[in-house]
Amino acid sequence: MQKQIKSALISVFYKDNLENIVKKLGEQGVTIYSTGGTQKFIEEQGVKCVAVEDLTAYPSILGGRVKTLHPKVFGGILARRENPQDLEQLKQYEIPEIDLVIVDLYPFEETVKNTTEEQAIIEKIDIGGVSLIRAAGKNYKDVVIVASKDQYADLEKVLTENNGATSLQDRRNFAAKAFEVCANYDVAISQYFLNNEPADYFQVSVPQGQVNRYGENPHQRGVFYGNLNDIFNKLHGKELSFNNLVDVDAACQLIQEFTETTFAVIKHTNVCGIASRATLKEAWDAALAGDKESAFGGVLVCNQTIDKATAESINEIFFEILIAPGFDAEALAVLQTKKNRILLEQKQPVKSKYTFKNVLNGVLLQDNDNGNYKEWNDVGAQAATAAQKADLEFANIVCKHLKSNAIALVKDKQLIGKGCGQTSRIDALRHAIEKAGQFSFELKGAVMASDAFFPFDDCVRIAHEQGIEAVIQPGGSVRDNDSIEFCKQHGMAMVMTGMRHFRH
């Protein structure tokens, strides 16, 4: 059912890219109603405009808080054109029909990002605009609602191609997007008032959905909601896939835990190589040596600017993505020689307060796993030496970022063996030892980290047999004392942290 736009109400915060629409409406003889700055903008385009104040016979009051909230505005939007009683009341109260509503809401989220001044934030909670959107969206059978500047191009296309006429499907599509805008706006306001306190409803709204080539597998659909430009400058390569994004997140979460010069290799969200060294080239060489096979096709991440020497070494292997806080010009020239290789310059840390996943018929939400230990409790034969403590802290962080059950073996701040995603802790240790042996690492003098407690003393027994001299674990088993006593009897250091790091 085609309907011709004969009248429009325009009330927007940002006027960008509105010129062509205003001029097009003027050319098509549409009666335009507007307020304040928007009215002035429309008239500057040489298009006639009726002030809302002239329509309602009320001025804008309360410092602009009340402008459009009036029956002569909302009556014209909500009136059902097929309802004789509605039309009779419009005639009785001299209310004009309004066929098009264009709104761009006060920038609440932008204001929250830019200031902590409460009054400035509160004043950017749009009341009239949201009400106009809901009214026009409800009456989509008769009214077109454009709820954001992001939809101006869609409206301009309709006005141009159909000479101001819209189909029922056009109007329904605009309404659907309008209610999305309202929902996102309300969630942002709610989260501001909640101030990170628990909510009665699961509320998450992230705009700017980008369709991936596919999801985790080619037969699955995938979409990313978020603005990657806030975190990265993409300097080279193809588009990030669903799996790329998952690995990039894991890489960023890991690397931001280190202050020393550190390089890491991620594969399927698990760390397969990581080392801290005096120079970036040394850190890369040590990280790669930890597992040269798994590094193939991996995601690389570091916390220092990539220099030419490091770039030339990295360039010798196949990898999907490299993330760094910067790239020297010569390094960039080396790394850009491969067409599809993705290079990301990270502008800021990943700041997320929560993690969540859908399970069964609901959603699980939790705080991020921040912190690495509650306490440093030496319970073994002796306190860890300074060198052991440095390696234990390093190993504990690495283990935290491996899938459970997880074991990390570290020596001189280099991951030399790891077991992850195993159904028993002793299997995770066996895998870690096997991995270390695969690349000829000497375990004597190494340290071991576990993401959760040892239910028996079998893991520390095997570790001792391999020459491992210090262990870090959260503790909490009813049989903790078995492992503690073994360490005391065999000269091993053991640290209990009181903080478990399951990662499922």
353 is known as an active-site residue: no
| One-letter amino acid for residue 183 of the chain | A
Which residue intervals of 28-139 are DSSP H helices? 36-44, 52-56, 71-78, 84-92, 108-114, 118-122, 128-138
Q: How far are the Cα atoms of 80, 142, 219, 331, 424 from residue 409, in angstroms, in the given order?
A: 71, 68, 38, 32, 17
Instruction: Tell me if 398 sits within 8 A of 271, measured CB to CB.
Output: yes
Angle CA(94)–CA(97)–CA(101) in degrees, nearest 5?
Answer: 130
Q: Give how far the C-alpha of residue 385 lies from the chain's centroid of Cα atoms, to the nearest Å.
A: 40
Question: Active-site residue among 138, 238, 338, 403?
Answer: 138
Instruction: Tell me if 52 sits within 8 A of 35, measured CB to CB.
Output: yes
For 65, phi and psi rounded to 5 degrees? -70, -30
First to last CA, the chain: 52
Query: Which 3 state secondary structure label does DSSP give 462?
Result: helix
Instruction: Tell me if 140 sits within 8 A of 147, measured CB to CB.
Output: no
Cα–Cα distance measured from residue 264 to residue 236, given in angstroms and rounded to the nearest whole number: 20
In sequence order, what E strands does 361-404 have?
362-367, 377-378
Helix 128-138 and helix 168-194, axial crossing angle in degrees, nearest 10: 140
234 is known as an active-site residue: no
CB-based burial label for 220 (10 Å; 0-12, 13-18, 19+): exposed
Cα–Cα distance measured from residue 425 to residue 429, given in angstroms and rounded to the nearest whole number: 6
How many CB atoms are located within 10 Å of the residue 477 CB?
Answer: 16
For 253, phi and psi rounded to 5 degrees? -65, -35
Question: Active-site residue among 141, 234, 238, 268?
Answer: 268
Helix 458-465 and helix 425-438, axial crossing angle in degrees, nearest 10: 20
Identify how many contiguous H helices and E strands the chain contains and give both numbers: 18, 23
Active site residues: 138, 268
